[in-house]
Structure 1
């Protein structure tokens, strides 16, 4: 039985994209006969990785677990895979040189995984030396069964029959750009008084959370619901009318994937990650990031046109179910694991030495 040590900066019960991906891989490979141990780089000890004697080390995010993994690397000689999740490359790639710690990690790893072709091309231009070891494996998603009825939740939240609910599912931090969404929502309410905006997600940045809650508290129709379980999030998606993503950048947003899986039409910023999932006017709507007028215009259009909402929701659901199955995601990683194990070469280098020599 192959042993995999899966390392994530966040794990359940903390709800965010990294923790959901980690849990999905753990459960999926467990069903396929792998012995998977999941570690949180913010909670567990690196010694535990060494104790489980993994055949494969697989970490999520190239930046956050860096110091933790450097301690593992001192005693681990097997192959290492990094899945880049978005914020670990979007903040610098194409703008400046990579931070030294990220560059070291990317050069030391045996294989790198990104979620879409645009990320592959972006990294190729920024760091051509690592291009040969980058693999594209899209995120997977599956529908939830047995969710509560749409009407039941809308009644519980106090929605009127004609209310149009916009839903955001995002951690509260600057890159998610939530304050701009609330500002645009204020303008939208002048045109569509029945609009409501719900925000679900953990507060990861205290200053941003204070800013969002202060602005939201002065905005009619807005409510912050805090963290919700994955099942609860899907229930809100089923009850909402439009899903909203205004991020400044994305890897491949799991919440957008989930919303599309539930048939919810998506209005999203035209940034990498969102573009990998949405083609404007075909299976969702995109607006230029930072263009409040475009955001308000498209939001009003969706709010007023039920037929458009239903058609985009149907097309979005169809595209996601065709391209983003969990089995396809697991197949990609399993093939990568097997390839590395076939050509396994023991190491005796330190973390920094591996990065320097490649």
Structure 2
């Protein structure tokens, strides 16, 4: 079968990582899977023409609204993977919700990363319940063998002469829903009192005007640094060598970064939102915070309580191995792809 896979591929964010991984599964089962960026298409007719010209037999897409609106004229079967913002944010918009309902009705299957995402979809579209499969994201990490931690810190602007720093790494595309500035003021004040703590924000520019806001804010902060995106293997190595990985998002479907940190034996501090609560159990597989003061309090405890840190890391590793196996994820998509035939 020749399958078209539509997803947000640029800049390289979580959706791209997920799409590339799932595309690999589909190709390994003997099908042809062509990945295309949703941003390339302005209308559903363009996608319809592409399907006809390239003789695609089916379509898979990530994001019920961004991808789904491009398939309203589709003549081939398709499946949908919820992205996160579609169910958490776009669903609040009446016009978008109407489009998503049509897409749901015509789809062969839908995939939700969490039970909570499935419940939200069922609440709005009860008719789709039997089509929705819950499949948590699989985890694959490959830290770069030649990565230099010291060089990375130096290039990031971190000054740590004669002291061992505590590096907190916030990995995200620079857009408002990721809220990378949420902790900056509190962290800057903490750094003034404790010079060993540093916050590095790393990720691609997604929203140019917002990126300028982030750059200006970080420039005036203490102990906070902004680093451009890195190849995935280098990013995994930087995560592995950090003291902790941070997530401060307003909304998440299922954060690949959190799961990767768990797989890399790095403790996670995540904002207390539904998407994060689905994979992080407070003081068990990670730490959840509601506001900046609580983040600082929990970070201090993580630094001082070695047992807590080691316990969280061990339980998180056990959790991802049990619930986020890439083998299980692969088998799920093999079966679902067969449904498109």
* TM norm structure 1: 0.85
- Supply the distance in 1 between the matched residues of 2:93 and 2:24 (Cα, whole angstroms): 37
Give the corresponding residue for 1:40: 37
- Verify the 8 A CA contact 2:189 2:222 in the aligned structure 1: no
**Residues 1:213 and 2:215 are matched in the alignment:** yes
Kindly state the Cα deviation for residue 67 of structure 1 after the two structures are TM-superposed: 4.5
Give the corresponding residue for 2:9: 10
- Supply the distance in 1 between the matched residues of 2:325 and 2:54 (Cα, whole angstroms): 30
Give the corresponding residue for 1:330: 330
Q: Tell me the secondary structure at the aligned position of residue 19 of structure 1.
A: helix
Kindly state the Cα deviation for residue 38 of structure 1 after the two structures are TM-superposed: 1.3
Q: Tell me the secondary structure at the aligned position of residue 298 of structure 2.
A: helix
Kindly state the Cα deviation for residue 52 of structure 1 after the two structures are TM-superposed: 3.3
Q: Deviation string for 1:147-193 (max 9, x for gaps)? A: 34675456645553421000011011111111112123123324533
- Verify the 8 A CA contact 1:154 1:239 in the aligned structure 2: no
- Supply the distance in 2 between the matched residues of 1:101 and 1:194 (Cα, whole angstroms): 50
One of 102, 105, 110 as aligned partner of 2:103: 105
Aligned length: 331
Seen in structure 2, the aligned counterparts of structure 1 residues 101 and 194 have a Cα distance that, compared at 3 Å, is: same
Give the corresponding residue for 2:226: 224
- Supply the distance in 2 between the matched residues of 1:50 and 1:326 (Cα, whole angstroms): 33
Give the corresponding residue for 1:296: 296
- Verify the 8 A CA contact 1:165 1:197 in the aligned structure 2: yes
The gaps in structure 1 that reach 5 residues or longer are: 342-358
Q: Deviation string for 1:226-268 (max 9, x for gaps)? A: 1111111101101210100011110001111111111110000
* TM norm structure 2: 0.89
Give the corresponding residue for 1:346: none
- Supply the distance in 2 between the matched residues of 1:18 and 1:332 (Cα, whole angstroms): 18
**Which of 185-194 and 113-122 deviates more?**
185-194
The gaps in structure 2 that reach 5 residues or longer are: none
One of 53, 56, 77 as aligned partner of 2:55: 53
Kindly state the Cα deviation for residue 43 of structure 1 after the two structures are TM-superposed: 2.7
RMSD of Structure 2 on Structure 1 (CA): 2.2
Superposed, 1:79-94 pairs within 5 Å as 79-93=77-91
Seen in structure 2, the aligned counterparts of structure 1 residues 113 and 228 have a Cα distance that, compared at 3 Å, is: same
Kindly state the Cα deviation for residue 145 of structure 1 after the two structures are TM-superposed: 5.4
- Supply the distance in 2 between the matched residues of 1:92 and 1:151 (Cα, whole angstroms): 39
- Verify the 8 A CA contact 1:192 1:303 in the aligned structure 2: no
